[in-house]
Amino acid sequence: MAVFIAWKMYLISCTLLNFRSRLERGFLIVAALFLCASSSCLSPARAQDELPLLEDMDWPSVETLLKADPFDWIVLKDQTVIVCQPLYPHPDTLQKMADELVELEQARGSNAAERADIAERKKRLKLLEVNLPDDNFLDYQLPVSQVDRVISFEDMMLREADALIDIDEISQAYELLMEVERMAPGWKQASPRFAKLLIKEAEINFESGNAFAAMALLDELAVRDKDSPQLAAMFGETIRSSVQLAVDVEDYDRARYFLNRLAKHFPQHPVIADWKKRLQSMVTVVFEQAEQYAQAGRHDDAAAAAAAANRIWPVNARRTSKDAQYVLWPMSGIQRAAYNKYVSRQQILRVAVRDFSRTDIVSPIPLEANERDRELTTVSLFAPSSADELTYFQSGFFDEWDPQDLGREVLFTLKTTRPYWQTHPILNANQIAEALGDQLDSSQSTFNPRLASFVSEFSVRSPTQLQIQFHRVPLSLEALFRFPVKGIPEDQQPAPKDAERQTLSTRFSVVEQDENHRKYRRIIPEPDGLNDRQYHVSDVEEIRFNDRHSEIQAFLRGNVDVLPHLLPWEIDIFKESGRAFVQQYAIPLNHLIVFNPSSPAVKSAQLRRALSVSVDRKSLLKNVILRDPEMKYGRVTSAPWHSGSYANSPLVEPPTYDHYLAFILRLAALEQLRIPDKQKFVADAKKKILEANEEWDEVVFRRDHAKELAAAVKHIQLPKLRMVCDPDELATTAAEKIVTRWQALGFDIELIPADQEGEKLPADGWDLMYRRVRMMEPLLDLWSVLLSDDQLDVNQLSAYPDWMRQELINLDYASSFADAQRKLFLIHRHMTAQAFLIPLWELDDFIAFQNNISGFEGRPLSVYHGVERWLVKP
Amino acid sequence: MPTEDYDDIEDDDIEELDELDDDVEEVDETEEDGGDAIVEKGRRQLRRGRLSEFSDKLSGGAARPGEKDVRKSPFVMIMAGGIIALTLVGLVFFIMILSKAEENAFAEAEAKFKEQSYPEAKGRLLDFLAAYPEGEYTERARILYHETKVLEITTGTSFTSESVSEALKELNDFISVCRDLEGFKDEHDDVRRYADRIVRVGALTAAGVRSRKIKPEQQPLDDSKTALAVMEKYAGPDGLPRSVKDEIRALQRKAQAAIDKAKVLTDALAEINGHLKADDTLAALESRQALIDQYDSLSDDADVAKILTTIMEQEKTLTKQEDLNTDAVTEDFPSSARVSASLTLRTQATVEQVSQGKLVFAVGLGSCYGIDSETGEPIWKRAVGRNPPFAPIAVDAAEPSLLIFHTDTNELLLLSQEQGDLLWRQHIPSRPSGPPLVFQQQVYLTTENGELWKISVSSGKAISRVVFNQPVVGSPAVTRDQKHMVIAGDQSLVYTLSISPLECVAVSYVEHRLGSVEAPILTTGKLMLMADNDSAEKTRLRVLEVNSGSGQVAVLASDVVDGQVRDSLLIRGRDLYVPSTPQRVTAFRVNDEPDADHLAKVGANQLEDAATAPIFLRAGPGGQLWMASEALRKFKVRTNTLELQSDSVAEGLHLQPIQMSDENFFVTTNEPYSSSIFYTKVEPQKMEDKWRTVIGTNVVSVGPAGNGESLVAVGDFGRVFRIPLQKIKSGGFIIDGLSTYRVPDGLEDAIGGLTLKDGRLAAYCGGEEPALWTFTTNGQLEQRWTLPGAPGVPPVSLAAGVVVAVPGRLHLTANSAGRVQDYRAAQSQGENQQASWKSLVALNDTQVLAINADNELIRVEYRTSPTHHLFEVSRTRMEQPVELAPAAAGDLLAVVTSDGKLMALSAATLEVLDEFDLGGVAMRSPFISADRIFVEVARRDLMVFARGASLQDPVTIPLNGTFLTGPPVAVKEGGFVACLSDGRVILLDADGNDSGKNVVLGQEAQKGPIRVGESLVVIGVDGSLYSVEDVLD
């Protein structure tokens, strides 16, 4: 060792220090020898040690490799090893030096200086400069010719990584390889290890069932080194089995996804060809099956089969545009035509909903889900068709209905034919007369007091003509006859008198239902033999989602066709995206809070007004509901009907937010509650004083006993209010904010979600309700909103003051449109002044359709307005 | 006694009294100063007056003692004074006694006045005034005296003209005499009362008193009016109460009426009775109306009313009811079996139309169609003649049926809806004046000659008819109780008919001018409504009430709308819509309750720049209203307005009422540029059209296709058809066109057509984008050629192209050689002076003969050297006026002149070869076919001449008002086949004689015959193609 050190020092002196004088050289030699001597003296054991043989070397552990300072092993010709600091160039030191030397051998230099430099460089390339560990000050030169090879630190890491990979220690191997990558970026020796590592890890993941992880690794490897030997095979195998698994569970989208993933790197991979062939054959089989169904008239099964085939092998460009980037899915024209035929014949409209219609909820009124269900399953004699200031109605049952004798008599002429797309049956005059009779029969549950107050008599003149005479002329005949026809189907007649009536005017019925799906189908299917383009929606499938995000995601993925309502901040996004048709409902949606007329807790006008003026409508609308400072799609309103309605009095302003006034009104309401007890207190006191023959002065008494009086009634507080809330997301949010504000004012309010499971709340089980209302005809619909009841029983108006009751009844006696408008203006004014309900705001409501949907109304009035004529293009 | 005796008060007397007063004052002063000093006495004496002088006379004045006269002694003086004093006292008493007598006398006279014993009072008052002309009661007595004189007359019970005048005179005397008296102010009320009495009495007297045989007289009325002026003068600051004024005015009006009546009534009544005797009730009404127009006050005169009742009664008797019991014919027309292929182009907007087997019905050009309501495809058609009086009406007979009127045969037809088969037909001699009323399975049909027919729907049997004395307007209106029908006469009268039996029960006078009521009466609940165009700008809406017992009609109320009402009014519920010119709708709210305003106007809306056009209305729920006129438009009734919605659909003139089926509208229109008729289905809520079917195609150009096995026809609405002969022979509907040419937007000029020399067809139009389209012989659009102007006369074809005459020049177009320089006629000044053309005729392949407005025949030739141009070869002035295009064939030019001559000219030299006096004026250009010239003379005769230099011995065939629809076609068997406009195809022999063989199409013809291969085709007026070669059999 000492010799080595001495030799080393000499080298330093010769090379680095470049001492030129003899004296200097001599000094150095002496110093070196001294060092040798001293080193021999200081470390006699080491001095005697020989350089270790390679085979005796302990290969550094993973920890060492990761934590210790890097070092290299120089293996000399005699297979001894010098441990040194990392050499330069690094790694592959010898190879790189040799390469440079070869290069220098060919270089001549343009001048003497360069040639000297080349010579000098060549000379130095024959020496390996070495730094010993822990010795950063002295460099040694070792003739390259003495060196057998250099085992660099990275080599050691790769060797260790190999070992780790072999024993499936992937994470450590990965750590080592990453360290190698950090130390020697792009080192070609590392690449195979990486490949090996990725493949190994992919194998592990694949074997453990994590195909996606395996594919991710293989993807990574493909990006790094597509030609990695095992990659194609491994990738193929992974995809093959993954596709098989997906196909086994009929998840063809996933299967195609896998194939696409493989095709991204290996378009000609045999696995792809194999699966394409297999899938194609599956498609053929399914289409054959579909054809058999179609031949048998089982159009739903044929459509389902075609849809299944489409899932296996997409035929429509819309679905393949995104995911078929690498694998082309050629579809024959015949198959495409067959698919269109089957799917067009049995079109399925998928609608995203948050809930299905249910009867096991606490809501005292039908919710939107119930309305949707009602709209699909029943058809009223008259249904709204369009709206501006007024709502216009049309009938699917009557051809003409001309009021005669100045409206005292109407001759309804029934339709004898129906368009092929219409799904409700043709009814005859007797069936309608029977239903009308039930509406007018006070002993029936279907009794309609309001209708009964109008109709004088009716008669059936022929199977297609029904004549009705009126006591007084209804101003809106069509709105009055908005009821479905119920009766005994002809095939069940004759039937007992008390036999249960069935809805005869139907159009869709529920055919399938599970937790998240509900499918409605046409009662009367469209006839066979039409052109593909002449068929319309056959099935309406409502798909339930738990949150808005899922709904939107499903829509964007094409898994649903319709979003019945867009949230205000989504409207412009959808419009601008061009991915959907965004249609505005003809009538905005009014948000309001109604009071339960049967509830004594809200009888106080002060209380109602306090609740009303304490709602900061504008702020809530702007910040919570619309999230739009410009309030583009909503406005504060003063009525339960939309602001464009003819009933909307331009002189009535929305209630102004006034917190202070609300507080005062609340106190007033409270004091009003306490008055009886106070009076009793005073009366008792008066009685006592008079019995004691003392002089009674009530003013003085009240002044002197103010505290006692207050204490005596202190126990009387405003009752706790139970507010039912529409389950709509916006409504719930707004209701919570409103309740918070009310509670801050001292009101005790309980918020009850309307879709909460349970028995329907009894008449005295709630006090107020946050509702969303789309009022078609204020003249007739105001009652049901105010009373939260569709029975239209005059007795229920008893909760209102006489004058208000009279005004509401007078509405039915309006003799002209102008008269009706005048009366509604008056009611509007009084309703606002007395806070018979709390109008909040109206929101412009929008519905979104996929671009393949057509035939819908430009300005729909409800979710399924004219759904019979909608088309779902394949 | 003369009045002046009481009025004159002498001024001298007054002055004396004044002086006396002065003297009394001076005497008083003297007495106060008695016993003063002499100086003072002297001074006083200096200023003594006559009283002092009188005292001096009594005392002798100043005298010396002893010289005093005994008579002037104090004693004597005192005694004398005493005597005088006593005398004065006595005198006072005497005066007092006299004064009491005056009062008593006045009181007695006044008592008589109060007792209303006016003659006695008058005498006493007169005596009093004579006795006390200046007494205390003189003024009062004088007033009473005059009042008595007035009252003496006015309190009488009977009056004459003289007594009224006398009363007025006395009243005037009273005023003039007493007005300055102090007490007269208190008499103002009495004066007004007396005047009131005279006013009333005068008016009553002027009106005549029948019981006393006093005739109406003007003087009392004048007196009454004079008295009214007095009355108003003394009525006080507030004037006369309005009620009194009205009452008096009514009295005076009545009096005036009586006077007027007396003046003219006799003559008028005589005239009216004369009319009545001649059963000319309308003339009687006119005379009566003239009387009322002249003397408005007579409108409520009892006699005039009575004569009206008489007229009405007579009119009622003149309205005859006839039982007919005429069975209908159930055999179909023989011609109905003839097969045809109809050009009924159908266009669809969407693919959703799938037949549901339901039909709608429309009348196009001469035919009624049953059309599938969903697809627009015609299912059947039946010829019913042109210009039907009403659109088809669906009725429920034994099967769903259709009522329609056949204008060619004047028959009411009932057709089955399903296939259009005839169920029955009933002859109606006169054209219906409006759509029939179908009520309780009976058809009630009014005709233009004033008849109302009652026909059974089920059997077609004519049960009875009512023949009115004048034309009646439209279909009758049924009263609410369904007992009566009410129908307006053309003039002045409204007829009330009982429904069963159908007879006139009452005739009511509801004044309206002849022809001023054009719309039928409308039932509005308990009331009825009649629109009377009583002026050019306004229409009266008159609310009528029908007495349920007598059937008499009375006018309850009236309102006014702008414009004239010419189309049917519409009511839906309480909403009344009144259409009026020009394209205006007025909405009312109707109330038939007794005390209500029967008509409350809601609003009106008139289209901007609207022209007068028929208006058809249709109302829907929610105040929706659709108006079909020059387009289908939609209105909405708001609180007090009628808003027009912006969208319109089915542009074009609407010809028939809007039909409705399954909430869709079906409208019949045509375009200004086209005679064809279009039937369109419209979705009324969205105002979108669903399909359009042509139900009457006007073919502007027709010819055989290149292969000789098809016919190519160019419609005037931008479509070209190619119809195989086989299709024509098998019949059916051609709903698809072959090719299209774009009709310019806004075109108002009619599209025309022609056949080119080489057999190609062409169509052309004027307007702002004048153009000519040429089509290949297979019917494909070849090219559109822009024209320099609108063709003034039908273009003609040369071998090189088509010559079009535009003002000032001839233009060759549609030539393949490129642009050809126009021939420009002599132009005098500016554009407006450009020559206009009467006609063009092609002389040969290169030459055209143009006749200009100066009656010059200009021969123009197409030349190609040095450039392509039109060259004027010659110019010849014709002596005889030529208005129709000549016919040219070979070297012969046949010209018909306006003076009724046919001239044969040499086509080369225009030399007149021969001429023939036609005996009438030719209405159309002659035809030359083979060796014959055919000339139609006044739609009376068809004259057939041999083609040659000599025009003699023509063959004449009667036309009976028809005309040829095209040149007769020479047939190889010899002879000609000609088609007449009434739909008869006749076979003529080689000389032009009618062979007696004919074929009847069953409808009018528009073109033909056309030779297609071996077939002959004729086009019916509705665009149906008939194969008619069987006429040769």
Cα(A299)–Cα(B156) distance, rounded to whole angstroms?
A: 109
* Chain A residues closer than 8 Å to B663 by CB: 394-395, 399
Distance of CA A416 to the CA centre of its chain: 46
Residue-wise pLDDT tens digits, B284-309 = 888 888 888 877 767 777 778 888 88
Does A8 or B560 have the greater pLDDT score? B560
Name the maximum alpha-carbon separation found in chain A: 144
Q: Nearest-CA neighbor of B712 among B979, B976, B1010, B984?
A: B1010
Residue B595: its chain A contacts at CB < 8 A?
Answer: none
Nearest-CA distance from A578 to chain B in Å? 25
Is pLDDT above 70 for B689?
Answer: yes
Instruction: Using pLDDT thresholds of 50, 70 and 90, give the confidence band for residue A818.
Output: confident
**In chain B, which residues have their Cβ closer than 8 Å to the Cβ of A408?**
525
Please give the CATH topology (third level) of the domain spanning B319-467. Lipocalin (2.40.128)
Residue whose entry in the numeric block shows the structure tokens 């006191």: A685
Mutate to test the interface with A, among B359, B598, B639 (most CBs of A within 10 A): B639
- The average confidence (pLDDT) of chain A is 86
Q: Give CA A264 to chain center in angstroms.
A: 30
Residue B25's pLDDT is 46
Q: Looking at the partner chain, which of B572, B590, B600 has a beta carbon nearest the beta carbon of A402?
A: B572
Q: Which pLDDT score, from 0 to 100, does residue B158 have? A: 80
Mode of pairing for the β-strands spanning B442-446 and A853-854: unpaired
User: Among B354, B589, B591, whose Cβ lies nearest the Cβ of A420?
Assistant: B354
At A480, list the tokens: 């009055």
Nearest to A415 among B623, B662, B685 (CB): B662
Which domains, ranges and CATH numbers included, belong to chain A?
1-49 (no CATH), 388-505 (3.90.76.10), 509-585+846-872 (3.40.190.10), 589-659+717-843 (3.10.105.10)
Given a cut of 50, whether residue B932 has pLDDT beyond it is yes
Compute the average pLDDT of residues A331-337: 79
Q: Any idea how long chain A is? A: 874
**Higher pLDDT, residue B925 or B257:** B925
For an interface test with A, the pick among B663, B683, B685, B691 (most A C-beta atoms closer than 10 Å) comes out as B663
Contact criterion met (CB below 8 Å) for A624 and A729? no
Q: A389 to chain B, minimum CA–CA distance in Å?
A: 9
Do B356 and A406 lie within an 8 Å CB cutoff? no
| pLDDT value of residue B953 | 86
Cβ distance B639 to A403 less than 8 Å, yes or no, reads: no
Please name the residue of chain A whose CA is at the shortest distance from the CA of residue B373. Answer: A419
Report the alpha-carbon distance of residue B237 to residue B226 in Å, rounded.
20
Q: Given this model, what pLDDT does residue A31 score? A: 45
pLDDT of residue B4: 38
| Cα–Cα dist A786/A296, whole Å | 53
Q: What is the dihedral of CA A13, A16, A20, A24, to 10 degrees?
A: -40
For residue B459, give every residue at least 6 positions away whose Cβ sits within 8 Å of its Cβ, in sequence order, or none: B327, B328, B424
Chain B, nearest residue to A405 by Cα: B525
CA dist., res. B575 & res. B799, Å (int): 65
Give the pLDDT of residue B3. 36
> What count of other Cβ atoms lies within 10 Å of the Cβ of residue B180?
9
Q: Give the B window 616-655 contacts with A, CB below 8 Å.
A: 620-624, 636-640
Let me know: does B975 contact B990? Beta carbons within 8 Å.
yes
Give how far Cα B100 sits from Cα of B103, B136, B142, Å.
5, 11, 19
Mean pLDDT to the nearest integer, B241-251? 87
User: How far is A246 from A776, CA to CA, in rounded Å?
Assistant: 50
* A820-830 pLDDT tens trace: 999 999 999 99
Residues of B in contact with A395 (CB under 8 A): 663
Task: Pick one of 3.10.20.740, 2.40.10.480, 2.40.160.10, 3.40.50.300 as the CATH number of B962-1033.
Answer: 2.40.10.480
Look at A313-322, B72-81, B195-204 and tell me which has the smallest mean pLDDT: A313-322
Residue from B613, B596, B453, B466 nearest B524 by CA: B596
And the tokens for B924?
A: 């159309």
- Rounded to whole angstroms, how far apart are CA atoms B685 and A859? 12
Better-scored residue on pLDDT, B944 or B257: B944
- The tokens for B108 are 């007695």
Asked if A530's CB is within 8 angstroms of B622's CB, the reply is no
Q: Which residues contact B222 (CB under 8 A, 6 or more apart)?
A: B202
pLDDT on residue A869? 92
pLDDT classification of A7: cutoffs 50, 70, 90: very low
SS3 content of chain A, % helix, strand, coil (to 5): 50, 15, 35
pLDDT above 70 for B831: no
Rounded Cα gap, residues A199 and A176, in angstroms: 16
B352 to chain A: which residues are within 8 Å by CB? Answer: 421, 534, 869
Q: What sign does the dihedral A792-A798-A800-A802 (CA atoms) show?
A: positive
Contact yes or no for B662 and A407 at CB 8 A: no
Beta bridge partners of B464: B323, B454
- What integer pLDDT is reported at residue A492 of this predicted model? 79
Q: Give percent above pLDDT 90 in chain A.
A: 40
How far is Cα B293 from Cα B291, in angstroms, rounded to an integer? Answer: 5
The mean pLDDT value for A151-178 works out to 87
Q: Kindly tell me if the per-residue pLDDT of A575 is higher than 90.
A: yes
- B595 to chain A, any CB pair closer than 8 A? The answer is no
Predicted confidence (pLDDT) per residue in B460-492, tens digit: 999 999 999 899 998 999 999 999 999 999 988
Strands A721-725 and A749-753, how do they pair?
parallel
Q: How many helices (H) and strands (E) does chain A have?
A: 31, 28
Contacts 24+ apart (CB under 8 A), B645-653: B645/B687, B647/B687, B648/B687, B649/B680, B649/B682, B649/B687, B649/B688, B649/B689, B650/B680, B650/B682, B650/B689, B652/B678, B653/B613, B653/B614, B653/B629
Whole-number Å distance between alpha carbons of B324 and B373: 38
Q: What distance in Å separates the CA atoms of residue A96 and residue A118, rounded to the nearest whole number?
A: 16
Which residue in the set B622, B637, B638 is minimally distant from A392, CB to CB?
B622
Please name every residue paired with B721 in a beta bridge, in sequence order, or none if there are none.
B713
Instruction: Tell me the per-residue pLDDT of A27-68, one tens digit each, with 9 for 90 and over.
Output: 444 444 444 444 443 343 443 357 888 888 888 888 888 888
The pLDDT value recorded for residue A4 is 47
Instruction: Tell me the shortest Cα–Cα distance from B428 to chain A, in angstroms.
Output: 31
Task: Write out the H or E segment, with its range, that includes residue B690.
Answer: strand B688-694
Q: Which of B351, B352, B626 to mutate to test the interface with A (most CBs of A within 10 A)?
A: B352
Q: Which residues of B touch A533 (CB under 8 A)?
A: 351
- Residue B214 phi, psi (nearest 5): -95, 125
Across B232-236, average pLDDT? 85
Residue of chain B nearest A822, judged by CA positions: B639
**How far does the CA of residue B662 sit from the closest CA of chain A (Å)?**
5
pLDDT exceeds 50 at position A520: yes
Of B374, B624, B639, the CB nearest to A419: B374
CA distance A793 to B507: 52
Give pLDDT tens digits for A439-490.
898 888 888 888 898 999 999 988 999 999 998 888 888 989 999 999 888 8
pLDDT of residue B2: 37
Q: Report DSSP state, residue B310.
A: H
Could you tell me if B374 lies within 8 Å of chain A, comparing CB atoms?
Answer: yes
To 5 degrees, how large is the angle CA B552–CA B555–CA B556?
115
pLDDT digit string (tens) for A219-235?
Answer: 888 888 888 888 888 88
What pLDDT is recorded for position B917? 92
**What residue of B is the nearest CA neighbor of A531?**
B351
Burial zone of A230 (CB within 10 Å; 0-12 exposed, 13-18 middle, 19+ buried): middle
Backbone angles phi, psi at A195, to 5 degrees: -60, -45
Cα(A293)–Cα(A856) distance, integer angstroms:
29
Least confident range of A448-452, B29-33, B431-435, B576-580? B29-33
The residue ranking higher by pLDDT, B312 or A26, is B312
- Report the percentage of chain B scoring pLDDT > 90: 50
What are the residue ranges of CATH 2.40.128.630 in chain B? 319-467
- What is the pLDDT at residue A608? 94
- Residue A190: the pLDDT is 84
- Which strands form B892-896's sheet, in the order they lie side by side? B887-889, B892-896, B901-906, B912-917
Closest chain A residue to the Cα of B525, Cα to Cα: A405
pLDDT confidence of residue B621: 87
Distance from the Cα of A347 to chain B's closest Cα (Å) equals 16
Mean pLDDT over B536-561 rounds to: 93
Q: What are the Cα distances from residue A797, in Å, to A479, A760, A784, A802, B654? A: 21, 21, 11, 9, 52
Determine which helix (DSSP H) or strand (DSSP E) holds B277, and give its type and residue range. Answer: helix B266-277
Q: Does B59 touch chain A (CB under 8 A)?
A: no
* Tally of residues, chain B: 1033
Q: A463 touching B, CB under 8 A?
A: no
Rounded Cα distance between A632 and A842, Å, is 11
What's the pLDDT tens digit per position in A376-426? 999 999 999 998 888 899 999 998 898 999 999 999 999 988 888 999 999
Enumerate the CATH 2.40.10.480 domain ranges in chain B, comma separated.
Answer: 962-1033
A473/B574 Cβ within 8 A: yes
Residue keyed to tokens 């196909």 = A247
Nearest to B590 among A385, A386, A406 (CB): A406
Q: Per the structure block, which two tokens stand in for A499?
A: 């036999």
B860: Cβ contacts below 8 Å, ≥ 6 apart: B803, B810, B823, B847, B848, B849, B850, B870, B871, B872, B873
* Cβ-defined contact of A394 to B356 (cutoff 8 Å): no
Beta bridge partners of B241: none
Burial of residue B325 (CB within 10 Å: 0-12, 13-18, 19+) is: exposed
Query: What phi, psi does B447 have (nearest 5°)?
Result: -120, 165
**pLDDT on residue A610:** 94
Instruction: Report whether pLDDT(B137) > 80.
Output: yes
Annotate A822-853 with b (16+ C-beta within 10 A) or e (fewer): ebbbebbebbbebbbbbbbbbbbbbbbbbeeb
Where is average pLDDT lowest: A300-304, A680-684, B90-94? B90-94
Q: Does A388 contact chain B (CB < 8 Å)?
A: yes
Q: What does the alpha-carbon distance between residue B146 and residue B118 come to, in Å, rounded to a whole number?
A: 10
Give the percent of chain A with pLDDT over 70. 93
Of B107-116, B805-814, B922-931, the least confident: B107-116
Strongest mean pLDDT among A844-848, B21-25, B218-222? A844-848
